[in-house]
Structure 1
């Protein structure tokens, strides 16, 4: 452990599997100072329990009655239980990450009890007010005591909103560490591809789960039709299907568009990285994949109307596309020059830092909690 904190003194509040992934290296840095609190926003033993084991995380305090509620209900239910927990056993600091309902609930609970609050991955902005996550991340930034910004663009976003510069720290993104640690070794990756009947650099890996792509038959049908077209042209498409997407396919009668796709159940995080590491092209609406592709050096088409992570686009790893012809046309263009594109991306550094973000954030958190810490290694701009 790199910090000088008392056991269980830092409450790390999260509620989704992506938060487990992104916060894992920070939890390891904090060591026994971590008090892990899971709101249950995304909780099931098969998926969340597996992520805890795969990421070597401690068993969390688990809130009840949160999952399955609408946004306001999730926040309210989480906030009430967190407030009671913090009143009974007050932490020295609270850490939240990103922009989920759990993030906002944890931030409000800390603010209400005047507990120092750390926001990991602060300063992301899509400027799309139709995204609930945009409202969450803005509110959390404005009540946080320490804003851990992953990139210079994130720092600029925070300063543009007149947030105190003394609260803002450029730390890099923990995703760099996560990917490096969780990527299976060469032999395991070879076995993984063999199990799916795939060859390196010869397939598309696709994931779709966001409401903008699954809430209407038109949007989901447009995405699946283009994936089907890619498969018909001879490039295998591996499609680990999210439960929300599977339900939408059944609801809208779109199962016929899956016949040529290699559809699987959701895969573990390490397996996903192993598959992504050898894909000729990634197609996804995930925020995390936009970061992971820059560490893996793989091209990504982001099927969304907006993004809070423009760095991957600016560095040449990703492009924002709409479902339908725009997705299909660019996918075919990128697949046509796969060797050249992969060589170019392999030589391009990730914009998300040097892999030391969690050590910086742990030291800053310890300093905020008033316990002292090792000196923070600055991230080169």
Structure 2
């Protein structure tokens, strides 16, 4: 789309599967101008490698010795390697997304070298200081030159913190076009459900991976116990098991709690969307699923202390902490049956019109073009 930009002139820094999904539409818009850099925060073929192929993304430069380390080490090692890359081959602009450790490392590397920084999905706030991502997103917003706020609420958060209005653009969220592009058609969805022996609107799809739910054995035990208690022959519970969660289940010897749950290997994005599209209920601690459920028209229970996505809470999702309230609310939602599904199907997503990537790519091109013009004048 932006052929005026030189090849590989825009560094897109990411490190997790949700970032791949969210940034794929922007990367496609930027085309050959993209220089894709993966910090390795969550690098393996199941969680990142297969997504590159499925999303049609180029093979990235992958940083070393980052995954599996502490937050501080991930940020430090990523920052050191990114600084070396940007020094040897300076990009015209850097793009980061969301609030991961990779996001913060990319932002600090750009800031240290005075490279224009574009933050996609800026302005999310949970107001929960116990959440590492909250600190990441606040820091990234503070040093960003172009802040792409997904919603007017996100823009308001930034303005309240003193960010200049001239730095903020409300773009919508790329999740809308990502879901529309990668949701399999009716025939493929029907075939997938048949392979799993599932009836549309008669199963629960769950995901659990956040440290607040997996790192404490008592909390993880509670979540798995509540999920298992929901499962019946008529309404099974499916759980694609995240590598972090699997490792914690094995370490704490909680495998017996999975006996009543249909445990799946990590799914590709299209397969996950297909299963989510026909689930009677979603249960998750994921941030991305809070957005995806609004495009798919499915009810969601968010198992977390807090959320940075209040827009989804208005109609599509409800926030609960692990415990009996999770099971009680899940049964209430399931009892509503087709009524809630029909109601949600008629509601628009609060995350925009599906043109976010177009707007973001235009902002990136402007930021990168301004850098090239300044460099030419200096020469």
TM-score range, shorter chain: over 0.9
Aligned partner of 1:56 in structure 2 is: 56
Partner Cα distance (2:221, 2:70) in 1? 25
Aligned partner of 1:330 in structure 2 is: 329
TM-score w.r.t. the length of structure 1 is 0.95
SS of 1:40's equivalent in the other structure is coil
Aligned partner of 1:214 in structure 2 is: 214
Partner Cα distance (1:153, 1:240) in 2? 32
Partner Cα distance (1:3, 1:342) in 2? 43
SS of 1:172's equivalent in the other structure is coil
1:46 shift after superposition: 3.8
1:233 shift after superposition: 7.3
1:344 shift after superposition: 0.5
1:76-155 equivalent positions in 2, closer than 5 A = 76-155=76-155
Aligned partner of 1:369 in structure 2 is: 368
1:216 shift after superposition: 1.7
Is 1:287 the counterpart of 2:287 in the alignment? yes
Partner Cα distance (1:47, 1:234) in 2? 30
Range moving further from structure 2, 44-53 or 278-287: 44-53
TM-score w.r.t. the length of structure 2 is 0.96
Partner Cα distance (1:103, 1:46) in 2? 21
SS of 1:369's equivalent in the other structure is helix
Partner Cα distance (2:36, 2:249) in 1? 35
Q: Any unmatched runs of 5+ in structure 2?
A: 372-379
Is 1:169 the counterpart of 2:164 in the alignment? no
How has the CA–CA distance of structure 1 residues 187 and 233 changed in structure 2, closer, same or farther, with 3 Å as cutoff?
A: closer
Partner Cα distance (2:30, 2:102) in 1? 20
Whether the 8 Å contact between 1:300 and 1:317 is mirrored in structure 2 is yes
Whether the 8 Å contact between 1:4 and 1:371 is mirrored in structure 2 is no
How has the CA–CA distance of structure 1 residues 3 and 343 changed in structure 2, closer, same or farther, with 3 Å as cutoff?
A: farther
1:226-245 equivalent positions in 2, closer than 5 A = 226-232=226-232, 234-245=234-245
Whether the 8 Å contact between 1:17 and 1:42 is mirrored in structure 2 is yes
Partner Cα distance (2:56, 2:258) in 1? 35
Aligned partner of 2:201 in structure 1 is: 201
How has the CA–CA distance of structure 1 residues 249 and 158 changed in structure 2, closer, same or farther, with 3 Å as cutoff?
A: same
1:220 shift after superposition: 1.1
Whether the 8 Å contact between 2:2 and 2:365 is mirrored in structure 1 is no
CA-atom RMSD in angstroms:
1.2
Is 1:75 the counterpart of 2:75 in the alignment? yes
Whether the 8 Å contact between 1:3 and 1:366 is mirrored in structure 2 is no
Aligned partner of 2:300 in structure 1 is: 300
| Per-residue CA distance 1:15-69 (angstroms, 9 max, x = gap) | 1111011000000000000010111111113432100000000011111111111
Matched length = 371
Partner Cα distance (2:369, 2:265) in 1? 45
SS of 1:312's equivalent in the other structure is helix
SS of 1:370's equivalent in the other structure is helix
Range moving further from structure 2, 232-241 or 260-269: 232-241
SS of 2:119's equivalent in the other structure is strand
| Per-residue CA distance 1:327-362 (angstroms, 9 max, x = gap) | 000000000012110000001100000000000000
1:217 shift after superposition: 2.1
SS of 2:369's equivalent in the other structure is coil
